[in-house]
Amino acid sequence: MISRRDFLQRASLFTAGLSASGSLSRILAASEIPAPLNEFGYGDVAVTSELHRRQLEETHALLLSLSDDSLLKPFRQMAGQSAPGQELGGWYQYIPDYDWHTFDAGFAPAATFGQWVSALARAYAITGDRTTRDKILRLNRLYAQTISGDFYSIKNRFPAYCYDKLVCGLIDSHSLAGDPDAYRILEQTTDTAIPHLPGKAIEHDHSWRPGTDESYTWDESYTMPENLFLAYQRGAGERYRALGIQYLDHDYFDPLSEGRNNLAGRHAYSHVNALSSAMQAYLTLGEIRYFNTARNAFDLLQEQSFATGGWGPDETLRAPNSGDVASSLTGTHHSFETPCGAYAHFKLTRYLLRVTRDPRYGDSMERMMYNTVLGAKPIQPDGRSFYYSDYNFQGKKVYSDHRWPCCSGTLPQVATDYGINTYLRDHSGVFVNLYIPSSVRWTQEGAEVSLTQKGAYPFDSLVKFAVTPSRPLEFALNFRIPAWAQGASISVNGKPVTDPVSPGSFARLRRQWKANDQIELELPLKSRLESVDARNRETVALMAGPLVLFAITEKPPAVTSRQLLSAKKVGEQNWQAETATGPMKMLPFTALADQPYSTYLRVQTL
Ligand SMILES: [Zn+2]
């Protein structure tokens, strides 16, 4: 804990440093690192939004339903142990003579195990469900009996990827599910894995194991530091700090820290995920260049993002001003690797928001949430999963051809994290980042406080809050006012707040709160058009607040910008625009089923 005076000193030092130079290279002493906003515990937030809750309940139930033997099978097989029970199949399965050209069953055995254990631990912290904790403890013990160098040998194309995810599952088991053996199992895992890993961050497409084919160059050792630093911070031991440093990807990070754009050609999801390692390096080591790396990379990523917030068509980051993003609208249906990409994006923007308190990171998180992963098709019991969002002019929401792919590992983690993405806090009060029906509880100067939010946002502009401290108490509530929310307003107990409510800021209400005080936030959901890039200004997506409205059409019709901007809301989650050939239905991603749609339309006049 730090005092308020310390905190303010650090914060001002940090702000002064940033404004003085875009790319500071100095190393901050640990005591100088400005305190980031704190996350809430998973159990402090209850999400009541039906869309969000359903995704959590579905993924949680699915993970509980998977048989222990099936989950352990590839570990046991690769360790040469007897392996009873059914194959899960798909990418999860171990096939000794797997042909990588198929990208199909056998591609990444057991790669999602650690993510699933992590998601179960987070779900346990949210629900307190004993069956979930029992399963976590059972799986970790059964897994511990299989730990073997063979798992990281030539049998495995993704030893670093698997190790990274196992670390995540074990540290979450320790801190969220209270598994008393998790760190012992983590030590065994680390002792066994490390001799088989490359010793430093090896980029995608670089060979480091002799006698292997191309498929062995797709491992992701450069994403490891985030979980290693977290392991160190959560008390797993000093070695994890040293390992975190050892695997930092300087080839990737160093140019970015100076604002040089080196994203083009890199594998999209894993390199955005690696930016969370840069943020953990900053938070753990105090070296501000790692913060600059992540901040600059985020800005460069924004330049090549779709209106939905997604990025990386065909899983590849693009050169600036190349026209690649626009040409992908006809060139591919693999527009954005959705659950993995959204998971990486949420972590990155949460770190950046916590450190900078800049609400544009919350804006970005919100856009990504509503327009991509919240509308993901649910994982099926046979492993069919939603993988790519499709922004082609002839788009469809479909399951991947692959069962149990990487995205079946990240979707359950995404679903558990909506609550901790919604609220953050500092000593003076709470920051409301997302507008999701939910409630949060905390202790403020010895008083118990609850804050509840309700409403149909973003399908309606009004968000209602009730705050109840156990005794009248002064503290701050901060509300993110999105950059697009011109005309936003706030009232407390029916009285308009007189301070200006500025889009692109947090509106700060610091006052004495008493039981059942009511706050109403109005965020006008005005329509606007966003071009796919500067060279294709006539290729636009229609947005209403944070939502992209997808045109339900097999063949995009002739339409003007005026017609799109006049689209009317004709149902709860249903819009309609006039076109040359008649009315056209428009839906948010969460309401899209199997209809053909187009994300972008070419308008005749702007
Ligand atoms: Zn994926």
Nearest to 216 by CA among 226, 207, 225: 207
In the three-class reduction of DSSP (H, G, I as helix; E, B as strand; rest coil), residue 219 is classed as: coil
What's the pLDDT at 16?
38
Beta strands 429-432 and 473-481 are parallel
Measure 405 CA to ligand 1 centroid, in angstroms.
6
CA 352 to ligand 1 centroid distance, Å: 23
Q: 374 C-alpha to center of ligand 1: Å?
A: 15
DSSP string, 498-521: -S---TTEEEEEEEEE-TTEEEEE
Q: Ligand 1 center to residue 408 CA distance, Å?
A: 7
Q: Ligand 1: distance of its center to the CA of 388 in Å? A: 8
| Cα 406 to ligand 1 centroid, rounded to whole Å | 4
Ligand 1 geometric centre to CA of 33 (Å): 34
Phi, psi values for residue 445, rounded to 5°: 45, 45
Q: How far is the CA of 528 from the centre of ligand 1 (A)?
A: 31
Non-local (6+) Cβ contacts of 510 within 8 A are 428, 429, 474, 475, 476, 477
Residue 20 has what pLDDT? Answer: 36
Residue 269 CA to ligand 1 center (angstroms) comes to 8
Task: Look at residue 29 in the predicted model and tell me its pLDDT.
Answer: 61
User: How many Å lie between the centroid of ligand 1 and the Cα of residue 592?
Assistant: 21
CA 194 – ligand 1 centroid, Å: 24
Would you call 538 exposed, middle or buried from its count of C-beta atoms within 10 A (0-12, 13-18, 19+)? Answer: middle
The answer to pTM > 0.85 is yes
Ligand 1 midpoint to CA 389 (Å) = 11
**Residue 103: per-residue pLDDT:** 81
Instruction: Supply the pLDDT for residue 11.
Output: 44
Correct CATH for 429-522 of 2.60.120, 1.10.3470, 1.10.20, 2.60.40:
2.60.40
> Residue 337 C-alpha to ligand 1 middle, in angstroms?
6
Give ion ligand 1 contacts, CB < 5 A.
337, 340, 406-407
**Strand segments (E) across 253-405:** 336-337, 384-386, 388-389, 399-403
- 339 CA from centroid of ligand 1 (Å): 6
* Cα 313 to ligand 1 centre (Å): 13
Q: How far is the CA of 13 from the centre of ligand 1 (A)?
A: 39
User: What is the whole-number distance in angstroms between the Cα of residue 401 and the centre of ligand 1?
Assistant: 13
List where CATH 2.60.40 sits in the chain. 429-522
Gap from CA of 157 to ligand 1 centroid (Å): 16
Enumerate residues 6+ apart whose C-beta is below 8 A from 469: 444, 447, 448, 449, 475, 513, 514, 515
Q: Position of tokens 């649910």?
A: 378
Residue 21 Cα to ligand 1 middle (Å): 37
- Say how many Å lie between the CA of residue 109 and the centre of ligand 1: 14
Q: Residue 387 Cα, ligand 1 centroid: separation in angstroms?
A: 6
In DSSP terms, 467 is beta-bridged to 451, 517
Residues 189 and 86: their CA atoms lie apart, in Å, by 25
Q: How far is the CA of 386 from the centre of ligand 1 (A)?
A: 9
Q: What is the pLDDT of residue 22?
A: 43
Which residues of the chain have a pLDDT value below 50?
1-24
Cα(306) to ligand 1 centroid in Å equals 18
Q: How far away, in angstroms, is 419 Cα from ligand 1 center?
A: 22
Question: For every residue of 48-114, which 3-state class applies, written as one string?
Answer: CCHHHHHHHHHHHHHHHHCCHHHHHHHHHHHCCCCCCCCCCCHHHCCCCCCCHHHCCCCCCCCCCHH
488 CA to centre of ligand 1 in angstroms: 37
Distance 359 CA to ligand 1 centre (A): 27
**Residues 435/457, Cβ–Cβ less than 8 Å:** yes
The reported pLDDT for the residue numbered 211 is 83
| Cβ neighbourhood burial of 330 (10 Å; 0-12, 13-18, 19+) | exposed
How far is ligand 1, taken at its centre, from the CA of residue 381, in Å? 17
Centre of ligand 1 to C-alpha 411, Å, is: 9
